[in-house]
Structure formats: structure tokens, C-alpha cells
Amino acid sequence: MGDADAMVVLDALRGCVGAAQVLTAATDTAAYNEDWRRKYHGRALAVVCPGSTAEVAAVMRVATAHRVPVVAQGGNTGMSGGATPDASGRQIVLSTRRLNRIRHIDAANDTLVAEAGVVLQAVQEAARAAGRLFPLALAAQGSCTIGGNLATNAGGVAVLRYGSMRDLTLGVEVVTPDGRIWDGLRGLRKDNTGYDLKQLYIGSEGTLGIITAASLKLFPQPRATLTALMALPSLDDAVRLLAEARSAMGAGLTAFEVISAPCVPLLQRHFPALRWPFAEPHPVVVLVELSDPEDEAHARALLERLLGAELDAGRVLDGVVAESLQQTQALWALRECLSEAQALEGAHIKHDICVPASAMAAFVADAGQALQQAAPGARVAWFGHLGDGNLHFNVLAPPGQDAAAFVARQDEINRLVHDRVAACGGSISAEHGLGQLRRDENARYKSPVELALMHTLKAALDPLGLMAPGKVLQT
Ligand code: FAD
Ligand code: 2HG
Ligand code: ZN
């Protein structure tokens, strides 16, 4: 795009949203041009901040008329580089930060309608104020948005009980690449009137259209929640404990998160104020959360009975049950600070894998061994959502080795891990999506038929290829 064309496009965009909402100065656009991990760096023609669905539609009509590619961005906390523009200077970032209204809460129908730019925590708080629960929860909840949660089909720490964003959504409002508005904001639990289009947009990572609002499911607030940390001799034991906890607690089991031993020194180094509760080093630690429809005494009796039996049998080595809200928060902080601790330790290679619970321990042993052979001393600091079979199987450089040189081996390391994931019927992206990070890896493991169907859908819904080109699919 030449300078003259760029000026025409920028003027047209200013006509849609007002001059103040079209950011072009480097100081204003810098934060939008880089992802949370600082792995991807782009250069947008402009960052455009529409304040309503109608303004999003107007922006998309300009983009279509001038063939300008568009990258949607919410809270910019994504882990796969999906929200970062490329370096061409031709793409615009469409920021949803001004689409920040909660439009409606229907407590009787257990639904809430939020615009795409509403921060997840604000939705949780609005639900709580209405005496209900919106259960999606993840460490970035103070800055990620509902639109980003939808576009990545976010998971988090309560999927075990409530499901991922797909399961929590009843309807969406979408602006198509050519600027039409689809109002699919239904609040229905049953609706078999043809293709379920909302599910196409959920998880599409900005490649099919802009999600502008969603109708979300609410749930009853649990009367009490109780959190425990348990140390175990092996991952095998943790998988077995998961089955035990499921039998003992049923739907009350709301989180079952795992932390491997190599994560602990990273926490201690980068978050020295957090207190690790075990004096001994243990191979595996799990965080268990129980939500109870009765009261705290009932929850405590259930959790302490499980922990007591496991300790007596020697299958759990040590354990602590939170006694107060402050202790609960302190235990959760140990889990929630892991991403940041790893980021502070330096660049590393992330894997967001899902494997069947039955294959989990063998996969970790086998992949760990292969990594030690390929990169002796590499720190395989895995953690994550064991209850969902989802591990963040992250690999850090051996101590003292240059992180950038290690990350340069990403393709080779990915192959070692992802070949093993594929061999046990797993997924190479459980919850973070493909973005630009895993696009080519996905093409390697998906069947040609499935990939061709994805390309067919993309071509049908975004015929000019303007939505997030180069993300998810090779274009
Ligand atoms: P962004 O990063 O802005 O965008 C993500 C993707 O969605 C991009 O492809 C973007 O183009 C697209 N997009 C954004 N808004 C729209 C829209 N309105 N319409 C169409 N496309 C859109 N993820 C989990 O699933 N589980 C976790 O437990 C978890 N924990 C995290 C912890 C930390 C510390 C961090 C930094 C991230 C974590 N994430 C987790 C990843 C991230 O927070 C989620 O993917 C989140 O859903 C992204 O929301 P966002 O608003 O920041 O999206
Ligand atoms: C989490 O579960 C997030 O904390 C981030 O999904 C995982 O940093 C990661 O690899
Ligand atoms: Zn996660």
C-alpha cells in the first residue's frame, strides 16, 4: 500500500470511529504491536477502536472496500501470537477495548449478555453481584476479554466442572468481513434450527469475523469452596488421585491442577514472597478445589476424608487444606504465577497439549526422556489442568545456557513433543489456539480432509482473506 492509499484508508477509518480512535503514533500503537510473551512483533497501519457494533461494521466495510487485512485484539494476553499484526504495515488492529458494556443480565434465565471487550473479571463480578456464577477462570482474567475468550475457546481452571468457553456460550453477535451484523444473541439451551454457527466463530481466532457480543451461561454460586494442595510421588499417582477425587466429590470437584517439581525453583526465584508449603521436594503437587452446595463444614469433611485416606495409604506424601480465604488465595497464587515465573526466567518453548488421562504419565516420561537426550539438562517445567488432560509442557534451556539459542531449536523440540502427543491420540493445542505459533505444526498433524474442510469454511466466510491472514491456516 502506498502512502496515498494509506491516507485514504486512514481518513475513511476516522470517518467510522472518529479521529481520536484511530491510533497511528508509535507510542500509542506499541503495546498492540507486540504479544504478551514478547515473542511476536508487528507493525500495524493503525489501531482502530470502535465503540459499538455499528462502528465495527463500518470499519469492516472500509476494510473490505480497500482490501485491508484486519487483526482483532482484545486484552492481548493470547499465548499463540494470534492478536499480533504482521510487520508489513498494511494490516489494521481492530481493538475491542471500547466494546465494554454488559448489556443484560437475566438471572431467571441464568444468562448474561456482554460485549466482546468486557474484561473477564468484570463479567465474573457482574454475575456475582446478581447472585450467580460465571465460571470461566484463568490467571489472565484481570485483562483478557470475553471476545478473546470466545475467539480462542479459552479453558482455564474450571473446565473440569463447567467446560470451556464453547460450553459456556448460548449465542454470539458477529460482524462479517464485509460489514454485515449477525445478531445471534440467543439465550436458549435448546435450538436445533440448522447449523450451529456460533460454534464456528468460537475458537476461530479472528479468522472468520469479529465477535462483538455474546450471551453467556450463568450458574448457581456454590455455598462454599475449599482448596487443598497435595504432594504425590508421581504423575501416575496424580492421575489415580483424580479418579478417586471424582468418585468422592462428583460435580463438586471444580479444579484439579498439577505442578511439576522443576516449576518450584522458578516460583521461588521470581516470586520469593510466595510461600511454598512443603519442606521436602516432591515430584508432583496437585491443587484440588471442591465446591459445595451445602456448607464449608460439609466440604471440609469430604476433602479431609479424601486426604486422610490417601495419606494413610502412602499415596499422598503431604497435604495442606486452606483454613481461610487468605490461605486459599495463597495456594492459588502458587499455581497462577507459573506463567509469569517462566516468562521471567527467560524465553522458553511452550506446548499446550491434551492427551487422554490414561496416556498422560507414559507420555510425560517418554517425552521427558527424549528431550534429555536431545538437550541434556533442559528443564521440563510442566504444569496445568490435569483434570482436563491438558498440560503446559514447557521446556526451558538448561541452567546457564543461552535462552535464545535454545529457543532457536523450537522446531526440533516441537517435533519430539508433538509426535508423541499425536501417537497417543492427543491434541497439540488444548486451549491456547494456533495463532501463528502452531499454524504449521497443526498442518503437520491434521488430516488433509480436515484441513481442506477448514480452508473451505474460511473461503466461504472470508472470501477476500482479510481476517487475520496467516493465522490458524496457511493462506
Ligand atoms: P487476545 O490476546 O487479544 O486475542 C486472542 C485471539 O483472539 C487472537 O487471535 C485475536 O485475533 C482473537 N480475538 C480477540 N478478540 C476477538 C473478537 N472480538 N473477535 C474475533 N477475534 C478476536 N488461556 C486459557 O485458555 N486458559 C488459561 O488458563 C490461560 N491462562 C493464562 C494465563 C496468563 C498469565 C496469560 C497471559 C494467558 C493465559 N491464557 C489462558 C491465554 C489467554 O489469556 C486467553 O487465550 C484469552 O482468552 C485471550 O483473551 P484476550 O482478550 O487477551 O485475547
Ligand atoms: C495457564 O494455565 C495458562 O496458566 C498459561 O494456560 C500456560 O504459560 C503457559 O504455558
Ligand atoms: Zn492453561
Q: How far is Cα 428 from Cα 332, in angstroms, rounded to an integer? A: 26
Q: Is the CB of 350 under 6 A from ligand 2?
A: yes
pLDDT for 303: 95
User: Which atom, in ligand 2's list, is nearest to the CA of 432?
Assistant: 6
- Domains of the chain: residue spans and CATH: 3-95 (3.30.43.10), 102-220 (3.30.465.10), 224-339 (3.30.70.2190), 346-430 (3.30.70.2740)
- Contact by Cβ (8 Å): 224, 298: yes
Q: Pick from 113, 79, 99, 43: which is nearest to 205 by CA? A: 79
What residues are in contact with ligand 1 under a 6 Å CB criterion? Answer: 36, 71-79, 82-83, 96, 116, 138-140, 144-145, 147-149, 151-152, 154-156, 205-206, 210-211, 339, 431-432, 435, 468
Q: How far is Cα 181 from Cα 76, in angstroms, rounded to an integer? A: 24
Whole-number Å distance, alpha carbon 117 to ligand 1 midpoint, is 11
Q: Which 3 state secondary structure label does DSSP give 341? A: helix
Whose atoms come closest to the Cα of 266: which ligand? 2
The predicted-structure confidence for 244-263, as pLDDT tens digits, reads as follows 999 999 999 999 999 999 99
pLDDT for 230: 98
Q: How far is Cα 351 from Cα 336, in angstroms, rounded to an integer? A: 17
Whole-number Å distance, alpha carbon 425 to ligand 2 midpoint, is 22
Pairing of strands 390-396, 352-354: antiparallel
Whole-number Å distance, alpha carbon 48 to ligand 3 midpoint, is 29
Whole-number Å distance, alpha carbon 79 to ligand 1 midpoint, is 7
The predicted-structure confidence for 366-402, as pLDDT tens digits, reads as follows 999 999 999 999 999 999 999 999 999 999 999 999 9
Whose alpha carbon is nearest atom 2 of ligand 2?
A: 384
- Contact by Cβ (8 Å): 212, 56: yes
Q: Is the CB of 343 under 6 A from ligand 2?
A: no
Q: How far is Cα 56 from Cα 176, in angstroms, rounded to an integer? A: 10
Q: Which amino acid is at 217?
A: K
Region of 322 (left: φ > 0; alpha: ψ -120 to 50; beta: rest) is beta
pLDDT for 1: 77
> Please, what is the average pLDDT of the chain?
97
Q: Which residues make Cβ contacts (< 8 Å) with residue 270, sequence separation at least 6?
A: 337, 340, 341, 344, 345
The predicted-structure confidence for 71-83, as pLDDT tens digits, reads as follows 999 999 999 999 9
Confidence class for position 3, pLDDT limits 50, 70, 90: confident
Whole-number Å distance, alpha carbon 178 to ligand 1 midpoint, is 24
Q: How far is Cα 305 from Cα 299, in angstroms, rounded to an integer? A: 10
pLDDT for 269: 97
Q: Is the CB of 390 under 6 A from ligand 2?
A: no
Buried b (16+ CB within 10 A) or exposed e, 293-329: eeeeebbbebbeebbeebeeeebbbbbebbeeeeebe
Mean pLDDT, residues 131-138 taken together: 98
* All three cell numbers of 171: 449465542
Q: Which residues make Cβ contacts (< 8 Å) with residue 285, sequence separation at least 6?
A: 229, 230, 231, 232, 258, 259, 278
User: Which atom, in ligand 2's list, is nearest to the CA of 339?
Assistant: 8
Whose atoms come closest to the Cα of 335: which ligand? 2
pLDDT for 89: 97
